[in-house]
């Protein structure tokens, strides 16, 4: 019940906020604003995905996946860019994941707390280096004088992947119960075997989550590849000593073209890329759920 408030009596709690009706109105406004914001975010996502699907879907026939990118004024597909992206991402994974897991193991199992904290800072700062700066770095360090190469492109992507996988692994390693370690060591298992055969398998769910998220992120990175693997032939090639075409660079180049065929090919490539990234994200959720169930059961 509300009345026109006069002086506020500090000991009367129903009077405190200038009237219950007003407070209820504010409450409702907040609720509406919150719901509207969430709906806006969802609407943006749906718009982008729907537009991409709509504009790109018509291009997705079999020839699109088996023909390479066209030269000037012709029609083609994305076969070479698809293969190139797959090769480069795979190489980046091979480069980054072992190193990242080792760094995380060092931080979680061996290092003193101060060193561990310092490494955390290093990894977080590395995570914050913009992708384009990483691209210029690899260009200046490796490409100048040697030419572009899929290996250099993979190296640049690996630099981007490393901190993500390392931090995710480190956090999950810290959550693994100490009892496991103690039990293993008490049984006489050496420390390295403990880590390798007991701790890592227990943490595998979280590690895979981190890996999958990192792969999803770098699969769409354009800036590092612009400087390391952008001058490539319009044919499917597995020659990693030279540059390979990639999906993100292809989308970037097609996005600025006036040719409707090129734009359509760009949309279709975007559909493929988004599809891949979405699948990876769903996979990550699956692994995260598995990890949670495992640790809860342990």
Partner 1 sequence: MTSTTYEPPAPETDLRRRGIRLGDVLFKGIAIVAALAATVLLGLIAWKILQLARPAIQDFGLSFIWTDAWNPVTNDYGALAFVYGTAVTSIIALVLATPLSVAIALFLTEIAPRKVAAPIATMVELLAAIPSVVLGLWGILVFGPWVRDYLEPWLQDVLGFLPMFSGTPSQAGILPAALVLTIMIIPITSAICRELFIRVPQELMDGSLALGSTRWEAIRGVLLTYAAPGIAAAVLLGLGRAFGEAIAVNQTIGNANIIPTSWFEPGNSLGSKIAAEYAGATSVEQASSILYLAAILMVISLTTNVIAQVIVVRFERARRAV
Partner 2 sequence: MKRVLALGVLVVAAVATAAFAAQTQTASARPSAGSLVGTGATFPFPLISKWIPAVDEALGIRITYTPTGSGTGIAQITARTVDFGGSDAPLSPDQLTACKGCVVIPWALAGLSMPYNIPGLNGRLRLDGTTLANIYLGTITNWNSPFIKRLNPNLNLPDLRITPVYRSDGSGSTYAFTGYLSEISPQWKSKVGQNTTVNFPTGTGARGSSGVAGVVKSTAGAITYVDAAYSITNKFQFALLKNRAGGFATPGVRGVTRALCDLPARVTSLSQLKIVDPPRKCGRLAYPLSTFTYVIVPTSSGDKAADLRRFVYWAVTQGQKFGPPLFFVPLPKQVQGFAYREIKKIQS
Residues making contact with partner 2 (CB under 8 A) = 65-68, 71-74, 79-80, 82-83, 86, 90, 143-148, 201, 204, 208, 230-238, 242-243, 253, 256-259, 262
Work out what residue 65 binds among partner 1, partner 2, none; the CB cut-off runs from 5 to 8 Å by kind: partner 2
Packing angle between helix 131-138 and helix 150-175, nearest 10 degrees?
130
User: What is the DSSP secondary-structure string of 107-159?
Assistant: IIIIS-HHHHHHHHHHHHHHHHS-HHHHHHHHIIIIITTT---HHHHHHHHHH
Which residue, 88 or 134, is less far from partner 1 as judged by CB?
134
Which residue, 12 or 256, is less far from partner 2 as judged by CB?
256
Give the tokens for residue 212: 């999958």
Work out what residue 270 binds among partner 1, partner 2, none; the CB cut-off runs from 5 to 8 Å by kind: partner 1
Packing angle between helix 113-128 and helix 150-175, nearest 10 degrees?
140
**Contact at 8 Å (CB) between 139 and 227?**
yes
3-class SS of residue 40? helix
Cα(156)–Cα(176) distance, integer angstroms: 31
Shortest Cβ 54–partner 2 spacing (Å): 18
Shortest Cβ 101–partner 2 spacing (Å): 15
Give the tokens for residue 3: 């009345």
Shortest Cβ 122–partner 1 spacing (Å): 5
Work out what residue 244 binds among partner 1, partner 2, none; the CB cut-off runs from 5 to 8 Å by kind: none
Work out what residue 105 binds among partner 2, partner 1, none; the CB cut-off runs from 5 to 8 Å by kind: partner 1
Which residue, 238 or 269, is less far from partner 1 as judged by CB?
269
Which residue, 37 or 63, is less far from partner 2 as judged by CB?
63
Work out what residue 86 binds among partner 2, partner 1, none; the CB cut-off runs from 5 to 8 Å by kind: partner 2
Shortest Cβ 110–partner 2 spacing (Å): 25
Shortest Cβ 201–partner 2 spacing (Å): 8
The alpha carbon dihedral of 265, 130, 207, 150 has a sign of positive
Cα(163)–Cα(157) distance, integer angstroms: 11
């Amino acid at each position: 019940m509300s009345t026109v408030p006069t002086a506020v009596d500090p000991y009367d709690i129903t009077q405190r906020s200038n009237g219950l009706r007003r407070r209820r109105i504010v409450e409702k406004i907040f609720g509406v604003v919150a719901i509207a914001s969430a709906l806006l975010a969802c609407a943006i996502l749906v718009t982008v995905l729907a537009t991409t699907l709509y504009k790109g879907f018509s291009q997705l026939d079999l020839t699109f996946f088996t023909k390479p990118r066209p030269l000037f004024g012709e029609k083609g597909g994305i076969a070479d860019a698809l293969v190139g992206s797959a090769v480069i991402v795979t190489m980046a994974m091979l480069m980054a994941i072992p190193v990242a897991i080792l760094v995380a193991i060092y931080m979680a199992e061996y290092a003193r707390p101060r060193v561990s904290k310092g490494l955390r800072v290093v990894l977080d700062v590395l995570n914050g280096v913009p992708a384009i700066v990483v691209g210029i770095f690899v260009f200046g360090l490796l490409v100048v004088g040697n030419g572009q190469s899929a290996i250099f492109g993979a190296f640049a992507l690996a630099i981007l992947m490393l901190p993500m996988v390392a931090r995710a692994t480190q956090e999950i390693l810290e959550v693994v119960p100490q009892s496991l370690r103690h039990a293993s060591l008490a049984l006489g298992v050496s420390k390295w075997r403990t880590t390798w055969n007991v701790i890592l398998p227990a943490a595998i769910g979280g590690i895979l989550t981190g890996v999958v998220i990192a792969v999803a992120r770098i699969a769409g990175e354009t800036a590092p590849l612009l400087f390391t693997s952008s001058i490539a032939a319009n044919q499917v090639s597995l020659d990693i000593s030279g540059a390979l075409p990639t999906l993100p660079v292809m989308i970037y180049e097609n996005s600025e073209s006036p040719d409707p065929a090129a734009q359509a090919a760009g949309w279709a490539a975007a559909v493929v890329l988004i599809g891949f990234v979405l699948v990876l994200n769903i996979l990550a959720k699956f692994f995260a759920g598995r990890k949670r169930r495992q640790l809860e059961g342990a």
